[in-house]
A and B are shown apart, each in its own frame.
Chain A
Amino acid sequence: MTGPAPVRVEKALALMPELEALAPLRALLVSIARPDEATQWSSSGPYLTLGKRGVHPDELRRRMPQAFHRITEHLQVLFKAYVEALECQQRGDAPGVVAALLRAGRLEEDVGRHTQARAWYEVALGVAEALQDRRPEVEALRALGYVCLALGEYAAGARHFQRSLALAESEFDQAGATAASEGLGEVALAQGQWGGAQAWYSRGLRLAEAASDAPRAGRLERQLGVLARKQRDLAAAGEFLRRARERFEPAGLADEMAGVLNEQGRLDAQLGRYTAASAAYREALAWAQRAPRDARLELSIRLNLAELDLEADRLLEAEAELRRAEQVAIGGHVIRRLAQIYTLMGRLRGAQGDETGFVFFEQAIELAKVVERSVATEAQVYHAYGLFRSRLGQQDEARAYLERARELFDSLGEAVERERVEQELRALSA
């Protein structure tokens, strides 16, 4: 007697309307979803996706208090931040009001509620703009810049960082100017404007070094390393990363070390140094284990490791790593990365000539649309899906998916990725 069979996630999610208020319930449902033991060894086991996992209503009911606790806890700290803002207002401490409102925004960002965070930051900016001291405004603008970046609103992000930089410079706020330069570099990098990114990061680095701000200087060097790798200046990338490591390791900054080693792995992979890349990723995971738990960072490292295995044709290892990443994403409430995980799974099946691998792309598209709501991710999935179909000799379907990817990249104004898709389409027609 093992009770009734679990309900499949695909069916469970179909019963839940797309309401913002249900997001925590949706996250809880996904996090407790499990494959049953029989499925793991069945012939459908290798194709298992989130939708095919099962949930027991009984378990969902049992775990609901935990979800309520998390929601209440979040609302409590959020409300407290607001009350603090009110108290500051009462005693005429306007910078304190801004600080409390910014804290509330960060709390929202921590749980992935970027739109809500932006609302808090906008209120904070409104208060800060009326102040004599411009530093709170510099900070509020920077927070807005980053949240716009997270929302994919690059132009708005760049405007906030520019204003933040101009104000910081006029106030001789070196730390503010450094941070704004870093933010402008991030926006340029996200848009593929590498020359601009390099100029902003270099400027930020000069400022950070002048202020002896080692952690920020290390982060900027890491970003310059990322940029150099993207521009295929691999020697320069290696040098930047080495310098970043030298700043982070003596200070024992575990999360920063994990980040820089993750990037070192990507560089080694690009140089074709499989063993070195694998060692760098493994060490990155060890540093991540020392740092406060950050499922996003761990996922990033594991996905890079899986991609490395995939490119080196080590398909068994790649699959094992992707399944671990899937577990981290589901257990760690980082469902947004599942689309990327399933896209890689699909690529892996494509490498094995396995047509049924299409199920991973279908699931990834579904997740990109419904859970992640990211056009960029959807475009990337269609791009990979097109290549998968092409690899299997299904040229008409390949063309259709690549055209869909091109259309989506067009809608985002994403020039670099669009050009890559265009090249694939030209190759198909040739």
Chain B
Amino acid sequence: MRILVVAGEGGSVGGLLQNVRQWADDGRLEIDTAPDLPRAVRQLAGRRWDVVLAVLGEHPDDDLSWWVDTLRAPGSPRLIAVAPAPSMGLVLRAEKAGVLDVLSLPLRRDELVRALERLRSVGIETAVPLPLVEPHAVGPYALVGQSPAMLDVYKLLARVAGSSATVLVQGESGTGKEVVARAIHMNGPHATGAFVAVNCAAIPENLLESELFGHEKGSFTGAVTRKIGRFEQAGSGTLFLDEIADMSLALQAKILRAVQEREIERVGGGETIPIDVRLIAATNRDLKDAIKQGRFREDLYYRLAVVTIRLPTLVERGDDLVLLTAYYVRLFAERYGKKIHAISDRVLELLRAHAWVGNVRELRNVIERAVIVATDETLRADHLPDELRGEETTLADRPQGGLLTLAEAEARHIARVLAHTNGQIGAAAEILGIHRNTLTRKMKEYGL
């Protein structure tokens, strides 16, 4: 194991280095030092390191962010941060970022040895061959999975595809709504036509109308040429309106008219253009709830939801996780010219333990990055991003004995709730059932 000990700003690592050598050197350790951040970067670029033991300077939060950013690439050394008196906030932020450990100065032997032991223990991994997968190709994508939840989706998909019915696909972000929409298109009567996808949430509201319906040259500032909209582009194919709940009420009315009358008008144009397009809409929101709040038209909902397909989350799909992992490993190994035939048992454990907020899209992202950094035939834990590895090897067992103090448990829970509410104190206080002033005081106390 190779360790780079890096001094904080204006500090020296002499004493620290001596201690590290004395406590941790069992013949398998190679230790070197860097007097400051720039020289540390030079040394990191020069050869492979397993651990960076970095002393944080006067601004520990900034230094920690900088180190996390510098060592963010999968395959980078793990970080052990050392600070004179780490605040609870610093420890929690480090934990979230996948830092191996945060130790306080003066350094204690048992804490350092435990952190290094944790890293060593996860180094033992057994290769598991990639299982066989039979993907169902859907254009550039594929449907992968045999879980009962997905079998229900396939059955419904088969029933609805043959008709021209409008379909509403509902599911959390990253569950594969567009893939399902493409599958419906490819297996339906509009398959010979184009499949045109529009992401309603991505396009600025003032441009969405012209994107969908087109515009005549000069009809508004920026209309530099005549534009054919997506309805027309789809011709007799399928128009997929993704994230439909993000559309304004005014535009919803125009979509409703297009669906009902089967005709559209370009922005700034007087001509009525007939359309013969199959419409599939998708959303990750609860449209009925949006109707109650007056943010979505009820009449449009019933026009769109002639058939509704609900997609399961990745967690609900059980062992599909393994099949999808294998599928993506093969896909990206081929794309990046790698020969990967197996994944380690620890990778599987880490993948299974993860919450997958972004579902299949997040898994795809994780596997792509892992494949890019993999150098051998087995995908190992150190190829995964820190956020995933962190779930097993970071501060979870702090302090000694694996039990948290009441204050630590409280700070962690507050940090989680704040993350959930995107830092909104009012909403967090409501969830926690305490007054916002109390929450503010606790946040200060814990350095959150």
Contacts and interface: CB of A to CB of B under 8 A. Distances in A.
A282 B37 CA distance: 10
Given A41-B173, A41-B358, A356-B203, A397 B423 contact: no
Contact of B41 (A44, A54, A283): A283
Interface string A307-349: 0000000001000100010000000000000000000000000
Residue among A34, A47, A286, A324 with the highest chain B CB neighbour number at 10 A: A286
Contacts of B188: none
B66 A289 contact: yes
B70 A282 contact: yes
B408 interface: no
Contacts of A36: 422
B339 to A, nearest CB: 20
A3 B421 CA distance: 9
Given A42-B173, A42-B243, A279-B45, A290 B203 contact: no
Given A316-B372, A359-B202, A396-B225, A59 B173 contact: no
Contact of A41 (B174, B423, B425): B174
Given A283-B42, A287-B38, A397-B224, A43 B422 contact: no
Interface string B167-193: 000001110011000000000000000
B421 A2 contact: yes
A359 B70 contact: no
A283 B423 contact: no
B178 A43 contact: yes
B430 interface: yes
B134 interface: no
A41 B421 contact: no
A279 B42 CA distance: 8
Interface string A43-68: 11111100110101011001000000
A1 interface: yes
Contacts of A279: 41-42, 45
A243 B203 CA distance: 49
A54 B201 CA distance: 13
A289 B359 contact: no
Interface residues of A, number: 50
Interface in B222-238: 224-225, 227
Interface stretch (B111-119, B253-261, B264-272, B361-369): B361-369
Contacts of B369: 316
Interface string B134-177: 00000000000000000000000000000000000000111001
B357 interface: yes
B242 to A, nearest CB: 5
A320 B369 CA distance: 12
A320 B73 CA distance: 10
A400 B357 contact: no
B427 interface: yes
29 contacts: A1-B430, A2-B424, A3-B424, A3-B430, A6-B422, A11-B205, A36-B422, A41-B173, A41-B358, A42-B243, A43-B177, A44-B199, A47-B199, A59-B425, A62-B425, A257-B38, A286-B38, A286-B41, A286-B70, A289-B62, A289-B66, A290-B36, A290-B37, A316-B368, A356-B202, A359-B203, A362-B204, A362-B207, A400-B225
Interface of B: 9, 36-38, 40-42, 45, 62-63, 66, 69-70, 72, 172-174, 177-178, 199-205, 207, 224-225, 227, 242-243, 246, 284, 357-359, 361-362, 368-369, 372, 420-427, 430-431
Those 5 A-B pairs whose CB atoms lie nearest each other, nearest first: A41-B358, A47-B202, A400-B224, A44-B201, A42-B173
Given A46-B202, A59-B424, 8 more contacts: A1-B431, A42-B173, A42-B201, A43-B243, A59-B425, A62-B425, A289-B66, A397-B225
Interface of A: 1-3, 6, 10-11, 34, 36-48, 51-52, 54, 56, 58-59, 62, 257, 279, 282-283, 285-287, 289-290, 293, 316, 320, 324, 356, 359, 362-363, 366, 396-397, 400-401, 404
